[in-house]
Structure 1
Amino acid sequence: MQHAPVARPLLGAALSAVLALTAAACAGTGGRDTDADRPVGTAPPPARSPAALPSAALPPVLTPGQARAALITGGDLGEGWEPTRGAATWRDEVLKATAERPDCRRLLDVLYTEDLFGTDAATAPRATAALDDADGGAQLHYRITSYRADDIDRTLAWLGTLPGTCGHFEARAARGATRDVRVAAVTPPDAGDARRGLRVTVRGAATGPGDAGEAADAVLTVDLVAVRVGDDALSLTNGTLGEPADDATRAAVEAGAARLTQARRQGRAQV
């Protein structure tokens, strides 16, 4: 009796079952590489943490080196400007004050702390510089911040509302001393993708208990300017008890925007 014809169908059925099991295993792993698929002695590929993947919520930011390269120097502002020797005395004597209206209070806080775009880690400045005018007594503080373009533009739009909402208001310093504050719009140089500028004048209007006469009589003028370049921004304050140096503010904006644009072209890093 011959049994070969019976064996062949059984063998074919067995092969079909093996193939079906293999296909099911591949479907279960979604086509991913498994330990059984790799040759013996081969290490599995490293897993990518979700934290290491690019986030759509935050834009890429300048590296610290690129941000430092985009800073201005005293040479950009003209003769007499040099690295600062410390915070100007008028910062505490005149700017450390508050106001009833929230927008006006926020403006005073920005002038005092320099934190135009916020204080959390996402809006921390990438690089800063502080320069003094040894001859005229002015002080210029300069920052580069990387953030979302839409959020930067919202801050610029807020600055644009301040001449209307805080054009003239009274601020109160420590121990009851009052300050007369006036806010006007200034036109920054045509640099970057968007820009906004203010001139804030703070005058010691009255002397409260314990208020220093010098602070009460002082007239401080501060230019506040911010410029967006893509998802990066430069911001500066240029303050003085004397005559404001318009040319220094303009030079800082023009040189800073050009350097920031160049730094962006040299490459960016995901963080």
Structure 2
Amino acid sequence: MSRRPSHPARLLASALAAGALLTTAACSDGGGSDGASDTAAEQAGIAEQNAARQTPSGSPTTSPTGSPSASPSASAGALTESGAKAALLTEADLEDDWNQVEDADKWRDRLLVGKVDVADFLTAKADAADCQQLLDGLYRDNFLGEPSGPSALTGFEQGDSRLLEQVAGYDRAGLDDRLKWMHSLPQKCDEFTATDSGGAKRTVQVTEASVPDVGDAREGLHVTVQGDTDGTPVTLTLDVAAVRVDTSALTVTAGGPDGGQSSSVERGVRQGTERLQTVLDGGTPSPQPTNLD
């Protein structure tokens, strides 16, 4: 099996800076009969008390170089069931002739069902398990693993092509691991064979796909599956993109026998990330798309 060199990850972490400044008012003793030295001592004591109230015990206020330390980053709000649904794409967010459907949770493509041929992996047989996860994740609509929080899903059709989006909350460590797993697949799974229960062979190819620079982290894949349906040769082409925003993520998968849908996935990712960020910030996504090029 041929191997392509791995591509560098394009991960960009972004967070909103937040800080709080506590202020206190110094008061003076109106009598100055004890002289200037007593007044100075009182003012020094008040300043020390103010400083103690402003700075938690053990928390530095400056960096090792003496410059003020950066404020801690504010985390996004927690995703709720209603928020996950509100963050989903709508027809207005997608160009072309995509029509929203009601049964997207029942979509399954039989070409994605098969057992990976371990013999393809001569020197790295452990990679076969990752490639099996790839097929199973695409078939079961849980490409980033099972959500640990709220989850919502929607789908659209255009001719023989389909576009599926999922928005969900995850465990942060597990989500980061899954994105790293996605990044490794073009090298690990490059090209392999899968066999269905009837003995039919499918040839699967996996390459890296670009993803818009949105969210906190992102990965993309281009997957083709060559096989046959009812004796007729067919190639299923899918573009997959996943974007993390704090501990939530969205996954957009689109394609079909007519080819991939990279441009629609890109639009979906841009608009979907904006909608998710709006929800996590406590707002309501606009019914009119604002991020389409």
TM value normalised by structure 1: 0.68
Determine if the alignment matches structure 1 residue 117 to structure 2 residue 144.
yes
Which of 74, 79, 92 aligns to 2:109? It is 92
Query: Partner of 2:96 in structure 1?
Result: 79
Distance in structure 1 (CA, Å) of the matches to 2:107 and 2:244: 28
Determine if the alignment matches structure 1 residue 128 to structure 2 residue 128.
no
Secondary structure of 1:176's match?
A: coil
Query: Partner of 1:232 in structure 2?
Result: 248
Larger radius of gyration: 1
In structure 2, relative to structure 1, the CA distance for the partners of 1:66 and 1:124 (3 Å cut) is closer
Determine if the alignment matches structure 1 residue 140 to structure 2 residue 163.
yes
Displacement after TM superposition at 1:227 (Å): 0.4
Q: What letter corresponds to residue 107 of structure 1 in structure 2?
A: L
Which of 91, 103, 110 aligns to 2:130? It is 103
Determine if the alignment matches structure 1 residue 213 to structure 2 residue 231.
yes
In structure 1, runs of 5+ residues without a counterpart are: 1-58
CA contact (8 A) 1:125 1:143 kept: no
CA contact (8 A) 1:75 1:81 kept: no
Determine if the alignment matches structure 1 residue 248 to structure 2 residue 264.
yes
Distance in structure 1 (CA, Å) of the matches to 2:105 and 2:144: 22
In structure 2, relative to structure 1, the CA distance for the partners of 1:193 and 1:89 (3 Å cut) is closer
In structure 2, relative to structure 1, the CA distance for the partners of 1:77 and 1:92 (3 Å cut) is same
Displacement after TM superposition at 1:118 (Å): 2.5
User: Aligned pairs, how many?
Assistant: 198
Displacement after TM superposition at 1:127 (Å): 1.1
Residue deviations 1:40-92 (CA, integer Å, cap 9, x gap): xxxxxxxxxxxxxxxxxxx9731111111111012211131111265699943
| More deviation, 167-176/73-82 | 73-82
CA contact (8 A) 1:183 1:201 kept: yes
Q: What letter corresponds to residue 168 of structure 1 in structure 2?
A: E
CA contact (8 A) 1:91 1:112 kept: yes
Q: What letter corresponds to residue 219 of structure 2 in structure 1?
A: R
Displacement after TM superposition at 1:198 (Å): 0.4
CA contact (8 A) 1:61 1:147 kept: no
In structure 2, runs of 5+ residues without a counterpart are: 1-75, 119-127, 284-293
Query: Partner of 1:49 in structure 2?
Result: none
Alpha-carbon RMSD across the aligned residues, in angstroms, is: 2.3
Q: Higher helix proportion, which one?
A: 1
In structure 2, relative to structure 1, the CA distance for the partners of 1:90 and 1:128 (3 Å cut) is closer
Displacement after TM superposition at 1:236 (Å): 1.9
Q: What letter corresponds to residue 127 of structure 1 in structure 2?
A: A
Determine if the alignment matches structure 1 residue 193 to structure 2 residue 192.
no
CA contact (8 A) 2:220 2:239 kept: yes
